[in-house]
Amino acid sequence: MRLVIYLTAAADIFLALYGIASLSFFLRKKERKLSCDKEEKRRYAILTAARNEENVIDDLLDALDKQDYPKELYDVYVIVNNCTDDTENVARSFGAKIIEDDPSIDCKAAALYFAFNRLKKESYDAYIIFDADNVPDKDFLSQINKVYGEDAKIIQGKRCGTKAQTSWVASCYRIYYAFQNSGFNAPRTQSGLSASLNGSGWLVDKKLIEEKGFDCTSITEDFEYTILMALEDERVIYCEKAKTCDEFPEDLKTSMLQRKRWSFGMVQCMRRYERMLIEKGTDVCFDLSLVNLIPAVAMIAGIASLTNYIFFKKIPFLLYILVVMTVYWLILSVSALFAVSNNDDDVFREMKGILAFPLFIISWYPSMIFAFFKKDYRWVPIEHKHIEDIKYRK
C-alpha cells in the first residue's frame, strides 16, 4: 500500500511542479533578442499538405499572396493528397504550385517527406509549413525571416484562434495554445532550451533537412521532429511575432477525435525516444524527456489517486470526489485566467472557456487511456469549415 501512496505523491508533485513552473512564466516579461543583427532576405518554399480542403484553403492562399515580403522570394506549394474535391483547382486559381503525391501516402509526415525530396534540387533556403485552415498575419514571412539564421534553423511561430468561433470548445483551444505559446515555447526559447513544433506555422532550414533527414513515422510528426532534432543538438526557436490564425474544432466530439491522435502520437514518442533522450544527457533532451512523460504521469496520478481512496477511504466517496474536483477546477480555471490575460485576450469573451477548461483537460483522459492500450491508429482527417470572418482576430 505504501507503493500506491508513493506513486500518488510522486505523480502529483511532478504535475504540480510542472504546472507551477509553467504558470510562473506567465508572470515574466523578460525578452531576449532573437532577430539577427544583419537581416538577409531568404527564399522560401511554403508547403501545405491538403486533403479535401476546398472550403478553407482559399483563405490561406489569399493571406500568403498578401504577405509584405518580396513575392519573388517565396513560392507556395500545395501537396494534393488523395483529394476528391476541388482543392487543386482552388489552389491553382491563386497561383500555387501543385505537388501530386503518391496515392499510398496517408499522413502529413509522409506528404512532407515526399515534398522535401521533390524540392531538394530547388534553390530555397528554408521550408515553411502551414495547414490548409491557417491564416497567417501579413507580416508572418517578414517576422520569421528576422529570426531565421545560423542559430535558429527550426522556428515555431505563434498560433492563435479566430474570435469568430464562439463555442466553449474553441475557446478552450485558444486557452490551450496561449499556454503553449507563453507557458511552454517562449520561456524555453529564452532559457536556451527547445520550444516544440505544434503542427503548423513553422520553418525548417532546407540544408538541415538534407543533412539530418525528416524521418518521422509517428502520428504526431511535429513533436517527433522536435525530439529527433534535440538528439542531433538542434533546438526549436519560438517567434512570437510570426502569428498564424487557426480554425479549431467547435464541438467536443471532433475535439476528442483530434486529441486521440495527439495522445497516441505522444505515447508513440514516449515509447520510442524516452530512453534516448535520457541517455543523450543534454539540458534540452532532459527537458523534453520530462515533457515526454506527462501522459504517463497523468495516468499514474489518476489511477493511483482512485486506488488510494479505495484502500484508505476515510471520507464518503462523493465528498472525496467533490473535494478533488473543486481543487482541480479552481487550479485549472485560475491558470486559464492567467493564460488569457497574458495573451491580451478579452477575459469576459473567453469566460466560458476559462470555466470549462478543467473539463477540456479531463476529457483528455479517455484519449490517453486509448493511446496506452491501442497498438495502432490510422490518421483520420478533421473536416474544416469556412469561417467567414476568420481574418478578424487579435
Give the three cell numbers for residue 237.
526557436
Pairing of strands 154-161, 202-205: antiparallel
Task: Look at residues 235, 54, 214 and name the one whose alpha carbon lies nearest to residue 127.
Answer: 214
pLDDT score of 291 more than 50:
yes
Which of 106, 10, 113 lies closest to 380, judged by CA?
A: 106
- pLDDT attached to residue 6: 47
- Judge if 16 and 58 occupy the same domain: no
Q: Are residues 264 and 341 in the same domain?
A: no
Alpha carbons 18 and 87: distance in angstroms, whole number: 42
Indicate the residue among 234, 269, 304 that finishes a domain: 269
In this structure, are residues 95 and 67 in contact, taking their beta carbons and an 8 Å threshold? no
Query: Grid coordinates representing 112?
Result: 512532407
Q: Do residue 86 and residue 197 come from a single domain?
A: yes
9 in the same domain as 56: no
Q: Phi/psi at 194 (nearest 5 deg)?
A: -105, 130
> Is pLDDT above 80 for 385?
no
Task: State yes or no: pLDDT of 243 exceeds 70.
Answer: yes
* Residue 393 belongs to a domain: no
- The pLDDT of 378-390, averaged and rounded, is 60
Considering the chain, what percentage of its residues have pLDDT values greater than 70? 81
Whether 121 and 227 map to the same domain: the answer is yes
Tell me the three cell numbers of residue 325.
Answer: 474536483
Is residue 99 one of the residues assigned to a domain?
yes
203 with 337, same domain: the answer is no
Choose the weakest-confidence range: 47-61, 219-233, 344-358: 344-358
Nearest to 230 by CA among 333, 139, 175, 153: 153
Same domain, 54 and 168: yes
Q: Are residues 104 and 209 in the same domain?
A: yes
SS3 161: strand
Q: Where are the alpha helices (DSSP H) in 232-282?
A: 252-280
Dist CA 43 CA 27 (whole Å): 37
Is 349 within a domain?
Answer: yes
What is the tally of structural domains in the chain?
A: 2
Pick from 45-54, 83-92, 151-160, 383-392: least confident: 383-392
Residue 47 has pLDDT above 50, yes or no: yes
Residue identified by cell 488510494 is 308
Cell of 196: 516544440
Rounded Cα distance between 115 and 376, Å, is 25
Residue 309 counted as domain residue = yes
Q: What is the CATH number of the domain that holds 164?
A: 3.90.550.10
Identify whether 180 is part of a domain.
yes
Q: Is 319 contained in some domain?
A: yes
Q: Are residues 76 and 159 in the same domain?
A: yes
Domain boundary (222, 253, 269) is at: 269
Does 56 lie in the same domain as 152? yes
For residues 89 and 130, membership in a common domain is answered with yes
**What distance lies between CA 258 and its chain's CA centroid?**
12
Check whether residue 220 and residue 305 sit in a common domain: no
In which domain, by residue range, is 335 found?
2-26+293-373
Take residue 173 and report the three cell numbers written for it: 483551444
Instruction: Establish if 380 belongs to a structural domain.
Output: no
